[in-house]
Structure formats: C-alpha cells, structure tokens
Amino acid sequence: MRVHCIIISAVLALASASPVGAVDLLVTQYKNDPSGAPYGIALEKGFFKNHGLDITGIVSGAGGGSSVRNAMASDLGYGDVTAAPVIAAAEQGQDVKIVGITSRSLADLVLIVMPDSPIKTPADLKGKRFGISNPKSLGEMMGVLVMEKAGLKQGDVQMTALGSLSGALTALENGVVDATSIPIILFRTRGGESKYRVLVRPKELPLIPSQLGMATGKAMKEWPEKLRGIQAARREGTKFIYEHTGEAIEILSKVYAPLPANDIGIMVKELVEAKFWSEGRIEMPLLEQTVHAMKGVGMLQKDVDLTKIVDIGPVDLKLKRGEFFAVVGPSGCGKTTLLEVLAGLQQATAGTVTFEGRPIAGKVPDGIGVVFQEDASFPWLTVWDNAAFGLRRNGVDPAKIRRRVDDALAFMGLTDFARAYPAQLSGGMRQRVCISRTLVLQPRLILLDEPFGALDAQTRLLMGDEVLRLWRRTGATILLITHALDEAAMLSDRIGAMSARPGRFMEIVATGWPRERDSKIVSDAGFGEITGRLWDNLRGESMKSLGHSGVAAG
C-alpha cells in the first residue's frame, strides 16, 4: 500500500521548511460569488500565516478557461476555479489536477422568474425560454440538471444565450425569456425577492461542485507543503463560517461591499443551511454529476476517467488519541491492508507510518493490539488460558497475569466460562475471548478487523455495546475495519470512506455522537443521515468494485 503519512496519537505538522514568498491567490469571481468566502475569512483571521504562507491578496479570476490558464501560470500553480473548465483542460492533456471540492452545490446561483409568472415549478418550464449567458456555461448546466430532475427532456425548454448575466436578467425583465439563473450576489444587488421570484431554493439545487481547488503537476511535486497549507487555511475558514456565522458575516461584508450587510447576512445564512461550502473533501459522486452535466450541454462527448484527473492522494491519516475511528469501503479497496500496515504486519511501499512518534516497521509495536476478522481463539486452550496467552509469552509476572486476566474476563462477561473451551461457546463469546486476550495487554491503540462480520445483526449490536464500554474504560484509540455502514455509524467518532482500488479516503465523516453512547443511537434521526452520507460516497465506488462504471442508476 502506498502511504503518504499515517500518524497515530501524535500531532501532525506541515513540513514547510520556510514561509512562502509573498504571493496572491487566484479565486474565480472572488468578489462576485460566495464560493471564495472561506479564503476571505482565512486572510482576515490569519489562517494562511499560521501555515507559513504570506498571501498578500486574492485575485478575482474572470472564470472559465481563462481562470484555469491564469492559475496554471501563477506563482503557486493553484487556483479555486469553476469545475467544468478544469475537467475539460485535463481531458485536453493540460497538466492540472483536482485537489479538493470547495463548494459542493450550485446554491451560489438563483433560478428566478418574474413575480407574476405562471411558472410555479421547474416542470412548468416545458415549452418556455430559459435565459443563459453563454452556451456551455454553469447557468446552462444548472438549467439542464434542474429540468432533468423535473422530468423534462432536452428540447422541452429553449435555451436562449444572451451574451452576459446582466443581459439574461434584462431579457427576463422584458419578457424575452421566461426564466433564468444568475449569481446570488447579482440577484441581491438587483433587488432580490422584492423584484424577482425564486423558483428553486438553494437547498433544492443540484449537488455538483460550483468551484474546486486545482493545482499543476509541478506545484504538487515541487511544493506540496504550500498546497497543503492553502487547503488547511481554507478548511479553517470554512469551519469558521459554519461555527461563527455572525462574525463571518461581518468579515464578508467588507469583501462583498457595496452589497448591504443585511443582504450579505441573508445570503450567508442560506448557504450555511444548504451546506454550500465544503472543507475540501473529494466527493466522487459530485464530480461524476459534473461530467454528466457537461455532457448534457455538449462540453464533453464521452465519459471521463476521473481517477486520472483527481488527486485524492495516497492514504493520509491522523488518528486522534482516544478516538474511535472506522474505515468503510468497497471490497478489495485495501481496508485490511491498511490495518496490517498500522499493525506492523505489512510494510508500506512508500511513505511513513508512526505510532506515538516512533516509526512502525515490520513488527507489532508495543502498545498496539489487534483483533482479527476470523475466530483466532486457540481451541486447545481454555478461555482463561486463551486470555493469558500473550502475557505468558511476554514473561509477565504470574500474579500480574492473574489479576489482568480475571479483570478482563469479568469485564467481558466471561468469568463463568473461564474453564470452558472455545468449541463450547457461541461465535459472539469466542470473539469476546479474542478481545479479552487483546485487552490484558493494555494496548493504547486497538485495531479491529471486522471482528463481528460472522455474527447476526442483533448480536453485532450487543457486541458493539461491549466494544464501546471497553473503549470508554481503557481510553484507548480504536480503529475499526468494517463493511457495515450501520456498525461504523453507531460506534465511531469519525468514519473514513475509501474509494475503490486504488483505495483513497474520499471523505472523513464526523458523527458528532457523545462519548456515552450505545446501540440505542441507531434510533436517532442523525443515524440515518450519517449512513446515507456514507452510502452516497460508496455506492458508485462499490459498483466499480463489481466491474460497473459511471454513476449508479436510480
């Protein structure tokens, strides 16, 4: 497995040897579109400087292919630009890669009609004229996707190119077209809801990236630490908008002036509700939807192999001390290989793996315990002797062995079965024996490789409760490998969703659960949202592992 960096129970620091020279950052339509808002926050709050970067200002790109070319020619070789031109440039052989999704929907656009229009829903656009600035524009893509969702076909709506966004708006006001889509800032500048009627609210708009981060191959090879610094600062800016919305609005009021502060506040709150800004994670289904939209407007004639365009990067993970982290992904993506690398049972082909600041290389380090997928109890030993096996091999004092084993069996509910043999136990009890054998070693990191895969659903839930009790009691860090999305959602603080081979983390989902939790959490409304989000990431990847390609149907 190719590993960039895995650090366990340690602080991850950027490897920048010295601050970057003073440079500007290119962001498409920075002052005219809210996609770039996290950069403005990062600049104002000093997040770039915190990562060793001297960003003196933000240059507002014009959009389209020119922004891609300007970003490629910039000192940083990085830009935040519209998604479609990057994909098109990469398909044409340009040396560019997608390094992160920055805005994950088209909520920065507003689909509008006049207040007295008879059009009440997108389905009513059949036979009508839809104004766009130019063919193959983001506005046309939005129109195509909205109408497709409403059950309309190409040709049902007449796309009318008017040369500019303001031209499309003027055409709407004069009855030349029946509907149009315009940037939300232009919408607010021209009167907003007092002058137009919004046909589709931000939360209802298609989930395709409005903008994304791109970098040249040269930048990724020669100064990757600078790119990570930009992405980290922007990620902090994104979190700030969501967590400190009021203060963020005050900062952004300077960026989007002369738009009134009240209008900026309304806009930002709507976009927060729509979860418009992304922390930069690569979500392949959203990019696949972008390719679909590009084909719909004639920008592409065939499917695109996004794995050649997207730089998800090698496995790059930091486990936090004391957290419960689960890894999910399609069969064959490398989940178990990842665990074996962490356990020292396999060596990474490249990169570094450290535990508490020390490299892991070729053997299971002190402080790491492993529970494997299959039943690993020794059939010729009693439950008590199974639990004591590792301690005896390590030459631990017999009195200490007795105390630890008795305590572990009591904790796992196995005291009454101490003299029984594995063949006399159920599958769930045998797994508890294996967990006890790991527990007596007092590991600070516990690696679980699908330990409940062979158990029925009810027993798995109960075993999950046991593992959560173990986790709280020991304070250990736990990494769980599982195919079961519900199991991951119930047990974990964070969940890493891996792509099909070659496996990469597409997204890391934080559950937000309290530490004191058990299987009752499955009835929480948020539980379904988490499993749904994981499946959104994994459905297409799982189809790829089955030999299918493209966006899953349905």
The pLDDT tens digits of the residues spanning 197-239 come to 999 887 788 888 989 999 998 888 888 778 878 988 898 899 9
- Give the pLDDT score at 285: 86
Query: 360 and 396 in contact (C-beta within 8 Å)?
Result: no
How is residue 85 written in tokens?
């031109």
Angle, helix 245-255 to helix 37-45, in steps of 10 degrees: 100
Report in angstroms the alpha-carbon separations of 488 from 72, 443, 485, 542. Answer: 40, 21, 5, 17
Determine what percent of the chain is predicted with pLDDT higher than 90: 44
Q: What is the pLDDT of residues 490-540, one digit of tens each?
A: 999 999 888 777 677 777 888 999 999 999 999 998 999 899 888 887 887
Indicate left, alpha or beta for 136 from its phi (over 0: left) and psi (-120 to 50: alpha).
left
Q: What confidence tier does 16 reach under pLDDT thresholds 50, 70, 90?
A: very low
Q: What is the pLDDT of residues 63-97, one digit of tens each?
A: 788 889 999 999 899 999 999 999 999 989 999 99
Residues 163-191 have a mean pLDDT of 92
Closest CA to 438 of 371, 379, 380: 371
Residues 6 or more apart whose CB falls under 8 angstroms from that of 315 comprise 1, 2, 3, 4, 6, 334, 338, 351, 503, 504, 505
Q: What's the angle, vertex CA 183, arms to CA 299 and CA 277, rounded to 5?
A: 85
Task: Please give the backbone phi and psi of residue 506, each rounded to the nearest 5 degrees, phi first.
Answer: -80, -40
Burial class (CB in 10 A: 0-12, 13-18, 19+), 191: exposed
- Give the pLDDT score at 454: 66
For the CA atoms of the chain, what is the radius of gyration?
Answer: 27
- Give the pLDDT score at 335: 86
Q: Compute the residue count for the chain.
A: 554
Indicate left, alpha or beta for 375 from its phi (over 0: left) and psi (-120 to 50: alpha).
beta
Residues 4-18 have a mean pLDDT of 40
Indicate left, alpha or beta for 212 from its phi (over 0: left) and psi (-120 to 50: alpha).
beta
Residues 6 or more apart whose CB falls under 8 angstroms from that of 456 comprise none
What would the DSSP string read from start to end of 298-313? Answer: TS-SS---GGGTB---
- Give the pLDDT score at 549: 42
Q: Which of 69-78, 325-334, 362-371, 499-508 has the lowest mean pLDDT?
A: 499-508
Residue 179 has pLDDT above 70, yes or no: yes
Alpha-carbon gap, residue 406 to 380, rounded angstroms: 20
Q: What is the pLDDT of residues 99-138, one digit of tens each?
A: 889 998 898 999 999 999 999 999 999 999 999 998 988 8
Q: What's the angle, vertex CA 89, arms to CA 86 and CA 93, rounded to 5?
A: 135
Residue with tokens 């907003």: 192
Domains of the chain (ranges, CATH numbers): 10-104+209-308 (3.40.190.10), 109-204 (3.40.190.10), 319-545 (3.40.50.300)
Residue 159, Cα to own-chain centre: how many angstroms? Answer: 34
331: helix, strand or coil: coil
352 or 350, which is more confident? 352
Residue 485, Cα to own-chain centre: how many angstroms? Answer: 15
- Give the pLDDT score at 253: 95
0.75 surpassed by pTM: no
Mean pLDDT computed over every residue of the chain: 86
